[in-house]
Structure 1
Amino acid sequence: MSNTVGDVVDLGRGLYAWLPPKRGWGLANCGLLVSSRGALWIDTPYDPFLAGQFLVESQKRLPEGAGIDRVIVTHANGDHFWGAGVLPGAEIIATREAREYLHYDPTPQQQHRLVAGSDPSTPLGAYLARHFGAFDWSATEEVRPTTCFTGELELTLGEYTVQVSSLPSAHTAGDLIVHLPAQRAVFSGDVIFSSTPQQPGDHPVHWAGPLSNVIEACERVLATGAEVIVPGHGPVLDPAGVREHMRYLAYVRERAHALHAAGVPATAAARRVIGEGRYPALGLPERLVVTIASEYRHLDGSGLPGVLEVMADVAAVAHELDPSSAGGPA
């Protein structure tokens, strides 16, 4: 992984957002809230190297003698969670559903072996190497939540209130949002993947759905009255940016439902939506394979496939879109 330090954005009143130096799989935004009595993280980077960078940047902003003793995890995907190991002994807060979701994703060690052991001459092996090969989980131990809840959880950090709300199944089973009233800010996790004309992002990838729940989660973010929204990936947004993202989600949902009704298989439907080119500035269009397949499962009641099976379909479509992209790190 590049040693470029992510951007640290001061959002005011002790709140900071750490934004990775580039976009792509696994590069998630994180938050730091600092008070006179300590600090907490909202999400963590993907591997110990990036998490160590975030920790160094966080420590520069702490009062003398203060530490970071809590981590709020917006969902259980590793790119928001696995870096918690650099804070041994910290309380890790997540939803009960996120704790159960851990059984679906590979562990850090399993993912390390998968990426390192895949054949780079195949579309899947090349895709994994290109997008995940720069991360290092060789010494990453599995982390688990220590405090789990469902519904609403209100925390205090010094003079600040932190309101944590669990969500119905959306990006994953077990999502939550973090509202910071004093800062007029929300950390949305991956129910929002952002993009702006100045900073184009990537296509969202939703593992659970349905998309109606993702859209409703965006509405809950807006209902807080927050003026600053830090998405799971991409640039910081204002409410107008969230509404624009909701229009994207509504478009994908409408096309998925129409193509499902026409009897088009899920992966073929993703190819059709990609071919329409409605959002050409967004990167990683092959991720529509995941989102549309998730929506199809809610329409036809099919079971949840394995992560490796899903990623094989993603890699195959990516190879079709750009055969020259096989091999080599991004």
Structure 2
Amino acid sequence: MSITGGDVVDLGTGLYAWLPPKRGWGLANCGLLVSPRGGLWIDTPYDPVLAGQFLVESEKRLPDGATVDRIVVTHANGDHFWGAGVLPDAEIIATREAREHIHYDPTPQQQHALVTQSDPATPLGAYLGRHFGVFDWSATEPVQPTTYFTGELELTLGAYAVEITALPPAHTGGDLIVHLPAQRAVFSGDVIFSSSPEQPGDHPVHWAGPLGNVIAACERVLATGAEVIVPGHGPVLDRAGVHEHIGYLSYVRERAHALHAAGVPPLEAARRVIAEGRYPALGLPERLVVTVGTEYRHLDGGTDMPGVLQVMSQVAAVAHEAEPAMTGGGAE
């Protein structure tokens, strides 16, 4: 079983967004910038099947003889990064800080083994199979950026400027945003997850934090003056949509701080925020386990992130507790 399809949205002036056909874990938005001199990708899909589909759509929009020879990776999570293998000769650009997150995540083949070999009778095995079993990394070799930078980096593609800004730790330790001034657009990566009445999204998940940094990153996106914002996941936004997302992040931050001050343990705090049901249209509420846990870690003065398997076990357990009462809007 695999996921096929995806919408290509023309944002004007040679810029396109590739939006996956559904929502859920691992289904990230990607960008294509086209000029007479070639193309540039902003992020890549999760596995070779989806990345191949994005490549086919990109080639339809490139001038004859032109290729995609650069990829800007907004952060090092695999769903934005691992598909780069379909362009083996492309330059891959990431922040220097992203190097550490690459080592935090499992490799593609390690993740494939974890998903396919976990016991489906357990909450973790069932969760991994349901949400990640549609992807195939069995033959996916790890990819590595070829160009690292700190601070800011400006590229040109033909007549178009591509302004890349590294961020303090937020969604991960190594996030960046891509501003395209001629198109008045920003690709935000996962510092922004979006939703709309027509296209409901999922709860964000933030690994590095703190949430104050995520909010500041959203404000940095707005400070570019861009009118079109392509989030890491969910529908394309306008500026009002970013302000709404900041409101969501501020709510989660306030609740986490209040529950921490009351001495509520982090996992129970996540359960309580989920039970409040403040954003019922969003799927995957169990991901609040990660985000609330991240905020608690900063409030406690901790620096080391827990292991991915430990965190995902807690996420799966909370999702399992809610079944069958919760339909899980982001389920595959």
- Tell me by how many angstroms 1:135 deviates: 0.2
2:9 is the alignment partner of 1:9: yes
Equivalent residue number for residue 293 of structure 2: 293
Equivalent residue number for residue 227 of structure 1: 227
Cα distance between partner residues in 2 of 1:115 and 1:240: 38
- Tell me by how many angstroms 1:4 deviates: 3.0
Equivalent residue number for residue 103 of structure 1: 103
Aligned amino acid, residue 148 of structure 2:
C
2:37 is the alignment partner of 1:34: no
Cα distance between partner residues in 2 of 1:195 and 1:322: 23
- Tell me by how many angstroms 1:306 deviates: 0.2
Equivalent residue number for residue 311 of structure 2: 310
> Which ranges in structure 2 are unaligned for 5 or more consecutive residues?
none
Cα distance between partner residues in 2 of 1:201 and 1:48: 24
Aligned amino acid, residue 309 of structure 2:
L
Q: TM-score, normalised by structure 1?
A: 0.98
Equivalent residue number for residue 252 of structure 1: 252
Query: Percent same amino acid among aligned pairs?
Result: 81
* Aligned-residue CA RMSD (Å): 1.2
Residues 3 and 285 of structure 1: CA distance in aligned 2, closer, same or farther (over 3 Å): closer
Cα distance between partner residues in 1 of 2:45 and 2:26: 8
Cα distance between partner residues in 2 of 1:3 and 1:110: 21
- Tell me by how many angstroms 1:99 deviates: 1.2
Residues 128-149 of structure 1: per-residue CA shift (max 9 Å, x gap): 0000001000000000000000
- Tell me by how many angstroms 1:23 deviates: 0.1
Equivalent residue number for residue 59 of structure 2: 59
Cα distance between partner residues in 2 of 1:258 and 1:56: 49
Aligned amino acid, residue 54 of structure 2:
F
1:134-213 paired onto structure 2 within 5 Å: 134-213=134-213
Cα distance between partner residues in 2 of 1:3 and 1:128: 16
- Tell me by how many angstroms 1:239 deviates: 0.2
Aligned amino acid, residue 183 of structure 1:
Q
- Tell me by how many angstroms 1:74 deviates: 0.1
- Tell me by how many angstroms 1:98 deviates: 0.4
- Tell me by how many angstroms 1:2 deviates: 4.0
Residues 140-178 of structure 1: per-residue CA shift (max 9 Å, x gap): 000000000010000000010000000000000000000
Q: TM-score, normalised by structure 2?
A: 0.97
Equivalent residue number for residue 21 of structure 2: 21
SS at match of 1:120: coil
Equivalent residue number for residue 281 of structure 1: 281
Cα distance between partner residues in 2 of 1:59 and 1:127: 35
Cα distance between partner residues in 1 of 2:253 and 2:33: 35
- Tell me by how many angstroms 1:27 deviates: 0.1
Residues 63-92 of structure 1: per-residue CA shift (max 9 Å, x gap): 001000000000000000000000011000
Cα distance between partner residues in 1 of 2:319 and 2:95: 33
SS at match of 1:203: coil
SS at match of 2:103: coil
Aligned amino acid, residue 322 of structure 2:
L
Aligned pairs, how many?
328
SS at match of 1:240: helix
Aligned amino acid, residue 321 of structure 1:
A
SS at match of 2:188: strand
- Tell me by how many angstroms 1:3 deviates: 4.9
SS at match of 2:18: strand
> Which ranges in structure 1 are unaligned for 5 or more consecutive residues?
none
Cα distance between partner residues in 2 of 1:19 and 1:185: 16
